[in-house]
Amino acid sequence: MALIAKNGKNQFDYVEFASDKDVYAMVDAWAASNGYVLKRSEGDARKYQKGSGFLTAPMFLELNRVGATYSIKSYVRINGFVLHGDVGLAGDGFLVKLPRSIAKKAQNQLFQSLELQPLQ
């Protein structure tokens, strides 16, 4: 399944937006209330993860800011023995359906608070 995900066309969802809100504080509060842990913070880029891949596929949200524009990248990772593949949350399909659904529901809560269109 990791190979299918790695070669798939929907490896992540990507949203760009401008906001005058404190987006980093909002995402930090959302992450804490939804079980996401800050895994990496470098400058204006942050990466949050939920799950370790033991019982379910790990879920990721990456936040970045360039100038006045923010971006959010969302995906679920399938870990294989040798390689891994990422799958976006939106859309349908059989790959990691439950973790994608869980992540999409949580991330749409964040998108609503940021006044963004939800992931479909």
Backbone dihedral angles phi then psi of residue 119, each to the nearest 5 degrees: -70, 140
Name 120's Cβ contacts closer than 8 Å, sequence gap at least 6.
90, 91
Segment 92-107 mean pLDDT: 86
How many domains does the chain contain in total? 1
Domain presence at residue 36: yes
What CATH number is associated with residue 27?
Answer: 3.30.310.80
* pTM listed for this prediction: 0.87
Domain presence at residue 118: no
25-77 pLDDT, tens digit per residue, is: 999 999 999 999 999 999 999 999 999 877 778 999 999 999 989 999 999 98
Domain presence at residue 42: yes
- Cα-Cα-Cα-Cα torsion 52, 53, 54, 56, nearest 10 degrees, comes to 110
Is 8 or 99 the better-scoring residue by pLDDT? 99
